[in-house]
């Protein structure tokens, strides 16, 4: 199966900017941005982020407030703080042997950096890759990582896979199957997540009296370090 997969990828693989680099910092940025966010939304933001902070040292020297402002619109803003904290740790101590020691870096992200930046022979298994592995029951090497990601994202879809376009269909034991809808994320409109996002967006524009803001959302944001409240004024976390 692996030969067929790689042949398909050579013709159909997606052109993504983070696939043109071995820079571990650039790959870290891409992987953090891609957590729970669609590729199409990430591409322009990734390019803009790296234009502003092209190295890990540059990001480490930035203020948390500037990083949070740059992140606005990508959602799940704690990722911005984790990325910034990771940059500061790397700038101070270098890349750790165990990449999961970095803030917000789990097993998949660590494996992706290990493979794509450092060339370690490990297969990062995200949702798309895991789906292909489960359905095919096949073993693939690390050289198939990008191909597996693209196959899962574009062909081997969660509920109704496009088996007629799949290069592995002839040998796949799951060919033709349909799957129940996965549990969908709760609606953003009217949710507490939206209240948090709206509150953070307002504070990112300018410091505001805490009394003028959603108290529950502000408290939640402050607990995560995304805002700070001093003398009744809510601001983004600036350097001391």
Domains of the chain: 1-13+125-184 (1.10.1670.10), 23-116 (1.10.340.30), 192-235 (no CATH)
Length of the chain: 240
Which helix (H) or strand (E) element contains residue 7?
helix 2-12
Give the Cα separation of 41 and 49 in Å (integer). Answer: 13
- Is the per-residue pLDDT at 184 higher than 80? no
Give the Cα separation of 189 and 197 in Å (integer). Answer: 11
CA distance readout (Å), 51 to 18, 35, 184: 13, 21, 34
Question: pTM for the complete prediction?
Answer: 0.92
pLDDT in tens, 74-109: 999 999 999 999 999 999 999 999 999 999 999 999
Confidence category of residue 189, pLDDT binned at 50, 70, 90: confident
The residue with greater pLDDT, 239 or 222, is 222
Q: Which positions are catalytic?
A: 31
Give the Cα separation of 238 and 240 in Å (integer). Answer: 6
Residue 187's pLDDT is: 78
């Amino acid at each position: 199966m692996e030969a067929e997969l790689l042949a398909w990828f050579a013709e159909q693989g997606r052109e993504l900017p983070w696939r043109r680099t071995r820079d571990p910092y650039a790959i870290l940025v891409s992987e953090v941005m891609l957590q729970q966010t669609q590729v199409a939304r990430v591409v322009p933001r990734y390019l803009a982020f790296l234009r502003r902070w092209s190295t890990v040292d540059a990001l480490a020297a930035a203020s948390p407030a500037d990083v949070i402002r740059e992140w606005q619109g990508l959602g799940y803003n704690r990722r911005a703080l984790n990325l910034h904290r990771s940059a500061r740790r790397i700038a101070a101590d270098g890349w750790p042997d165990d990449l999961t020691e970095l803030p917000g870096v789990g097993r998949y992200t660590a494996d992706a950096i290990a493979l794509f930046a450092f060339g370690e022979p490990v297969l990062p298994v995200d949702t798309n890759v895991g789906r292909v592995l489960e359905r095919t029951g096949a073993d693939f090497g690390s050289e198939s990582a990008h191909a597996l990601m693209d196959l899962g994202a574009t062909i081997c879809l969660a509920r109704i896979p496009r088996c007629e376009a799949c290069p592995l269909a002839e040998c796949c034991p799951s060919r033709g199957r349909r799957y129940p809808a996965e549990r969908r994320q709760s609606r953003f409109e009217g949710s507490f997540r939206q209240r948090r996002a709206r509150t953070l967006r307002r504070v990112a524009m300018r410091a505001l009296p805490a009394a003028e803001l959603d108290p529950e959302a502000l408290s939640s944001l402050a607990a995560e370090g995304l805002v700070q409240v001093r003398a009744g004024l809510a601001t983004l976390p600036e350097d001391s």
